[in-house]
Structure 1
């Protein structure tokens, strides 16, 4: 009698592994452009855009992306750090791809979510660095998300979710804008209101409760971080925290809790 071992379980084939890794590689290929967007727009008010290294003035662009636009984030001429900390943009891209995989929305909605994430990543780094949410990033994020959700409606979802998404985006933006008008500097900035247009539209597609959940998550995250920073004396009671990163993280949390 021939002796046989336990049956073998076939592992993923090379084509399947390649297919799974293709979206991640494609997203990582966009990382230099996202890092460049953060570098360009993380400037004080009144300054148009950053075009070169602050240390030596060496030009920074996609024509010669390395090493300034790579994970090391170092100027190729003087070695100074350029833009967001090393590896952070790339980590954000990997996290965004992971979120898309976990969400698994239909293709048209997937396109809208991916579009919004592609703009949200540099917005997070810009707001964290200089407490600004530039129009050049917030308007394309909101407009593209709205249009792609419209295509999802035409593709079969129907007008209901798209109309709700539009109303939710406007409502959330008006909420943020009203705090600025009523409270001045103690309220949220108008940049947050413009960011909220896209956030509200994306979350509103899934129902009215989702943008509310996203806002609550953002406020809780901001509160927790604020308390931690106060406890470690890194900020004072009158210090302002950029809210854009928390709004983006709150939106992702609400989507993942669906």
Structure 2
């Protein structure tokens, strides 16, 4: 039941994230005006604003002017729903369901940040910075509910450690990544370390591996050169999410390899 509820919640949140992705980088309100067609300006009717279903009903076009509606909108809604459901399942397996709100917030913010960074090469402070206190409060509530304060202390240490590591990288090689990546790193460190040290290590460094693989592949097919810069935020977020789900098997495989 929790997984199903998370799926439904995720699709609804994904609909809101579409607004966030479009408006936050442009410094527009995410509340007003209501969603409307960018071509004709007609407000979207409530029955057409249902996540995923609304786009299918409209067959991907505005009901008033017929302008095509990007398939990105239902894909964001569906992907967010599936991610929320997967996190609910994962945390249930880890007996950490009280921490689910914190990880759902992180997932929602991560989806928005990844897509904004891909499009505009920026990680807005308006999303990153508020995520620190929100995540801290939600993880604190989880620790209090479970009467176990060590994961919270580990999260604080992990956030500080990963932030310091990224800051050091920027000081050594300023052109390697942006300040937004540094600000994001502390958030990732907290949510990863709350689960385990191995999750922090794997999630913290998976972004570099993913970035290197994609960069080499892009050069191999002629889509990038040696001096081409790729937005690093999506790799950081993807690496963190992969670690949340697969840190255990990856850590076990690494130990076997080293032995």
TM-score between the two structures when normalised by the length of structure 1: 0.78
Q: Which residue of 1 aligns with 2:21?
A: 38
For 1:59 and 1:248, the matched residues in 2 are separated by 35
For 1:203 and 1:158, the matched residues in 2 are separated by 17
Q: Is the 8 A contact 1:177 1:188 kept in 2?
A: no
Specify which of 101, 104, 117 is matched with residue 89 of structure 2: 101
Following superposition, the deviation at residue 177 of structure 1 comes to 2.4
Q: Is the 8 A contact 2:88 2:97 kept in 1?
A: no
- Which sections of structure 2, spanning at least 5 residues, go unmatched? 249-259
Q: Is the 8 A contact 2:14 2:76 kept in 1?
A: yes
Specify which of 154, 177, 190 is matched with residue 179 of structure 2: 190
Q: Is the 8 A contact 1:169 1:196 kept in 2?
A: yes
For 2:127 and 2:150, the matched residues in 1 are separated by 28
For 1:210 and 1:141, the matched residues in 2 are separated by 20
Give the total of aligned pairs. 235
Q: Is the 8 A contact 2:151 2:194 kept in 1?
A: yes
Q: Which residue of 2 aligns with 1:214?
A: 203
For 2:10 and 2:51, the matched residues in 1 are separated by 18
**Residues 98/208 of structure 1: CA separation in 2 closer, same or farther (3 Å cut):** closer
Q: Which residue of 2 aligns with 1:14?
A: none
Task: Say yes or no: does 1:25 pair with 2:14.
Answer: no
Larger Rg: 1
Q: Is the 8 A contact 2:158 2:193 kept in 1?
A: yes
CA deviation map 1:168-201 (0-9, x unaligned): 11221222223223322x2221111222222110
**Residues 248/19 of structure 1: CA separation in 2 closer, same or farther (3 Å cut):** closer
- What pairs with 1:161-180 in structure 2 (closer than 5 Å)? 161-180=151-170
For 2:229 and 2:144, the matched residues in 1 are separated by 42
Q: Which residue of 2 aligns with 1:6?
A: none
Any idea what SS the aligned residue of 2:173 has?
helix
- Which sections of structure 1, spanning at least 5 residues, go unmatched? 1-17
**Residues 196/87 of structure 1: CA separation in 2 closer, same or farther (3 Å cut):** same
For 2:165 and 2:62, the matched residues in 1 are separated by 41
Q: Which residue of 2 aligns with 1:132?
A: 122
Specify which of 55, 69, 72 is matched with residue 85 of structure 1: 72
TM-score between the two structures when normalised by the length of structure 2: 0.77
- The structure with the greater share of residues assigned to helix is 2
Q: Is the 8 A contact 2:2 2:88 kept in 1?
A: no
